[in-house]
Amino acid sequence: MLDQGTAPPATGGKQLPPLQSTGFGARLMRRKPVERLVAEGGQGEGGSLRRSLGMWQLTMISIGATLGTGIFVVLGEAVPDAGPAVVISFVLAGITALFSALSYAELAGTIPVSGSSYSYAYATLGEIIAWVCGWCLILEYGVSVAAVAVGWGQYLNELLEGTIGVTIPAALANPPGADGGIFNLPALLVVLLCMAFLIGGAKESARANTIMVGVKIVALLLFCAVAFMGIRAGNYAPFMPLGLGGVSAAGATLFFSYIGFDAASTAGEEAKNPKKDLPKAIMLSLLIVTVLYVLVAAVAVGAMPWGDFEGSEAALAGIMKDVTGQSFWAVLLAAGAVIAIASVVLTVLYGQTRILFAMSRDGLVPKTFAKVNGKGVPMANTIIVSLFCGVLAAAVPLGQLADATSIGTLFAFALVNIAVIVLRFTRPDMHRSFQVPLSGVRIRIGAARIPLGLIFPVLGFAMCLYMMLSLDVITWQVFGGWMLVGLLIYFFYGMRRSRLAVEGAAGAVLTKEPVAAKAGTKAGAKPAAKSVAKAGAKPAAKPAPKAEAEPAPKAQAKPAAKTGAKTGAATAKKAAGKNRPKPRKKARGKKK
């Protein structure tokens, strides 16, 4: 029987029959071993990715994908819900992200592949769960790119107005249904620009991202320094105008701003030292981002009344202008935001293409997404994803996009937390380059000794679930519709075309009739081998043509008898005498 951890058998170009040896439920829950996932990394039929990224570049990928999304875009939507307590909302979202980040760090060091949480689920929870997780990641990354691209267009308008006194017409600067918008052209353009960077290669894209992240950090620190002078204590009261419900609702929306720390995990097949560098990059990026978010949010709500944030397209630039009374600072911040937000689009697009690359290599989506060019770039994959995200950005309002991204992310993060727990019990002795804190401390529950560190993935799962329940009914309806479409695609396409399904079908064929045995029977090798074993001689190297044509056991044994006679062994001569052809017996009779 072909094991799932072995390479697929040669099929000679013949189409394999459907798998018959396992039931429907078993096929849904089939898992791909960790060792095989790692071994297959970068070895798809369409080519492999190149290892060219160090720890610093991986950290910049996660920071680039995270920093700026919430502060530059969603802050204006969250403050009206939470008031000055939006600072607590950021902390709440950050803690939720921390628990999940610990789980990501452990699994990224253990399973360093491009599939991120999709691959982690495949190794621990089964194929159907892995598909659902991958489908959520497509929602998370794709919608995130679109939402951030919309925010980029808002800051571009601010920059153009402050520098040359020109603004993009509302019909071309907003999606349909938003302020007279028809088509958001700037959002589409920034996605296409980032697509061009990605086509240049991972190393070149990482270099461009590092520069843009540096500009982003400088712009935020500049904002804090200038806005600090405009803080008024009265702006912090009432601190929680809409109560705890408003804080939690804002936290769920602001979780959108933490999307991206997991981006480094999608570079598992392009990292030079993934087991060591991926966990460090994930944790370091989250720490830097959280500190900056809380600092900027605290200064922003102190410098502007919380009620003024509603409807603000570029809140930070507006605060700079109000505090200084000059448009120069606002223009400078807008310029920094235009450059910085582009890095989010770039890195999230990168992560999206790598997720699809892994899913395609596993056979769950078309092979086109796993084909790479000479630079190690999945070209068709990058173009298709970019066009999809660009059109989405140009046609869907930002608020709906942010909430849809949050629920998809929370669901994927919840699965990662479960995957850590499952892998601890199913593969307790597996080497882990990084483990969640307190893993060495064990507590006894009944007869079992449980690592205390598992409290972190448990809390991460619980908080993800809580924040998902804080989202509105419409968001859940959109999510449910998305999941339904995904399941239909899996059952009608991915389930039968996955590599495990194809190899399982091949294994069923081999189990019924091994190739070697079948060939041996036709050539008369199997009976010959039995005769040789009795005679103590070597098997015949070249069977006689007559023996091949006759199916009778005696005829099949002739080659072995002839060969045994040549060996000179006593037992071989005895066997040869019994099976000697009749013509030779007649010849001996004449001599006598």
Give per-residue pLDDT as tens, 458-499: 999 998 888 788 778 888 888 888 899 999 999 999 888 888
Report residues of the chain scoring pLDDT below 70. Answer: 1-22, 42-47, 69-70, 72-73, 178, 311-314, 398-404, 505-592
The count of C-alpha atoms lying within 13 angstroms of the C-alpha of 73, restricted to the half-sphere facing its C-beta, is 34
The count of C-alpha atoms lying within 13 angstroms of the C-alpha of 48, restricted to the half-sphere facing its C-beta, is 14
How many beta carbons lie within 10 A of that of residue 109, not counting itself?
Answer: 23
Which residue, chain included where needed, has tokens 């096929």? 27
Distance CA 377, CA 114 (A): 13
Q: Using one digit for the tens of pLDDT, what is the confidence trace for 323-344?
A: 877 777 777 877 887 888 899 8
Residues belonging to the chain = 592
* Tokens found for residue 363: 């056979």
Q: Phi then psi for 443, rounded to 5 degrees? A: -120, 150
Query: How much is the pLDDT for 97?
Result: 84
Domains and CATH numbers, the chain: 24-505 (1.20.1740.10), 520-591 (no CATH)
* Tokens found for residue 78: 């969250």
Distance CA 471, CA 245 (A): 11
| Cβ-Cβ contacts under 8 Å for 536 (sequence gap 6 or more) | 564, 567, 569, 571, 572
How many beta carbons lie within 10 A of that of residue 154, not counting itself?
Answer: 26
DSSP E strand stretches across 269-325? none
Query: How much is the pLDDT for 2?
Result: 39
Q: Using one digit for the tens of pLDDT, what is the confidence trace for 168-189?
A: 887 887 777 767 778 888 989 9
| 307-313-294 Cα angle (round to 5) | 65
DSSP run (H or E) holding 543: none
Query: How much is the pLDDT for 366?
Result: 92
| Cβ-Cβ contacts under 8 Å for 248 (sequence gap 6 or more) | 89, 92, 466, 467, 470
Distance CA 487, CA 492 (A): 9
How many beta carbons lie within 10 A of that of residue 502, not counting itself?
Answer: 17
Axis-axis angle for helices 202-227, 315-324 (nearest 10):
40
For residue 95, CA distances in Å to 101, 242, 370, 432, 453 come to: 9, 21, 35, 23, 16
Q: Phi then psi for 70, rounded to 5 degrees? A: -80, -45
Torsion of CA 349, 350, 353, 355, to 10 degrees: -110
DSSP run (H or E) holding 451: strand 448-451
Task: Give SS3 for 498.
Answer: coil
DSSP E strand stretches across 118-197? none
The count of C-alpha atoms lying within 13 angstroms of the C-alpha of 472, restricted to the half-sphere facing its C-beta, is 10
Q: What share of the chain is helix, strand, coil (3-state, %, to 5)?
A: 75, 0, 25
CB 99 within 8 A of CB 463: yes
How many beta carbons lie within 10 A of that of residue 27, not counting itself?
Answer: 18
Distance CA 219, CA 155 (A): 13
* pTM for this prediction: 0.76
